[in-house]
Amino acid sequence: MEVHTTQCCILMGCLCLFYPWSQVCEWREPEELAALLDLELRENGEPQHQLLQRIRDVAKYSVKTNHPRFFNQLFAGVDYHALTGRFLTEALNTSQYTYEVAPVFVLMEDEVLSKLRSLVGWAEGDGIFCPGGTMSNMYAMNVARYRAFPEVKLKGMWSLPRLAVFTSQQSHYSVMKAAAFQGIGTENVFKVKVDDRGCMIPEDLGETIELAKSQGAVPFFVHATSGTTVQGAFDPLEPIADICDRQGLWMHVDAAWGGSVLFSKEHKHLMRGVERADSVTWNPHKMMLTGLQCSAILLKDTTHLLKHCHSADAKYLFQQDKFYDTSLDTGDKSIQCGRKVDCLKLWLMWKAVGSKGLEERVDRAFTHTRYLVEEMKRREGFELIGKVAPVIKERMMKQGTMMLGYQPQGGRVNFFRMIVISPQLSHQDMTFCLNEIERLGSDL
């Protein structure tokens, strides 16, 4: 039985990675796909040969996010060193909360977080890996509120005034989710204007803070963005930090996508001033290609705010009379109990390619982007309007040739949102993308 299970795992890995998939996806309507997969769970188990076919079908009809022409999300491609770490993590099946149950990974997480903080510009600090950038942003807002009003942990929202959060019009939707989830309220998220490039306008931030005060709200948290979801904009961190310093506000930088530019000597200027922030969200599973999920919340704080804010002192896990240094039991920093090991895949990939290899990966993505922009400028017909984008998206999905997202923005109609990060990409793929859009939309 163990041999057969191992064969299933190996086959699944081979199918997903090494089979020469010609299509990004093999589209099926939901009813047809459900019938093909035979999803029903029955009383009795199935023989091994049938399970192997199930695995083949899962791989066949899933979207191939490691295909070089998958441009749909802010993650793509696969790093095989990180994937090896992911396999090992699942096989070891441990939880990242105490040194006694995860000794290797407690030390490894500390080292990886320390290295990420050093790239931000902090010699000291704190942090933890979270299940995605949304959760990392929620952690930042919660810790910022706790610093400003520590009584909230004991007494709840009844003890607080009306609080105000500030973020740009182009920020990630997780800011609104965090405000709703934490009882602050979405109406108390003040949206700051952006310029034509999608960057927060610092002058408007200052004015919006004064507006909130005039309405009886108490500002406590400014959420800046390095690499917005749609335009890829980097907010000007230096002048935002100046305002936060003057007002005594927590400054958070959502660098879920853009944080990886800190590896690049050529592009790290985009985050100039990030070292002045109080916290940073960074998702290595995006531009660094670590694989889902891998997101860190990094803090400049050295007073253990993260633990004080979230700890519940579970006696069965975090006993203080253990035979080792209990400061290594990091689980009380987290709002979770069981927590996946997300540091191994990043650590192993970093060990394999080094900081230099990660820098080259970032620079390559920018090179492909510049090439694509220049190619678009040379072609006529790429200012598409109306319902063109949704129709072309439907056609490319059903034909399986590539996958590209679209969306409206403000008063603008739907446009394609191009993500260029996969390590398998070449200029040929960039050219193919433009050719394919023209081909699929030639009759519109």
- Does residue 384 have a pLDDT over 70? no
Start-to-end CA distance of the chain, whole Å, equals 56
List the alpha helices (DSSP H) in 184-281.
202-214, 237-247
- Does residue 2 have a pLDDT over 50? no
- Does residue 18 have a pLDDT over 50? no
The alpha carbon of residue 362 and the mean position of all alpha carbons in its chain are separated, in whole angstroms, by 16
Average pLDDT over residues 376-403: 78
Sign of CA dihedral 90, 91, 94, 100: negative
- Does residue 11 have a pLDDT over 80? no
CB 416 within 8 A of CB 407: no
- Does residue 409 have a pLDDT over 90? no
pLDDT at 9: 52
| CATH fit for domain 94-341, picks 3.40.50.2300, 3.40.640.10, 1.25.60.10, 3.30.70.270 | 3.40.640.10
The overall average pLDDT reported for the chain is: 90
pLDDT tens digits along 120-135: 999 999 999 999 999 9
Residue keyed to tokens 């530019």: 261
- Does residue 306 have a pLDDT over 70? yes
- Does residue 10 have a pLDDT over 80? no
Give the predicted TM-score (pTM) of the model.
Answer: 0.85
Indicate the domain borders of the chain: 2-64, 94-341
Residues in Cβ contact with 125 at an 8 Å cutoff, skipping those fewer than 6 apart: 117, 298, 299, 300, 301, 302
pLDDT at 344: 97
pLDDT tens digits along 229-275: 888 999 999 999 999 999 999 999 999 999 999 999 999 999 999 99
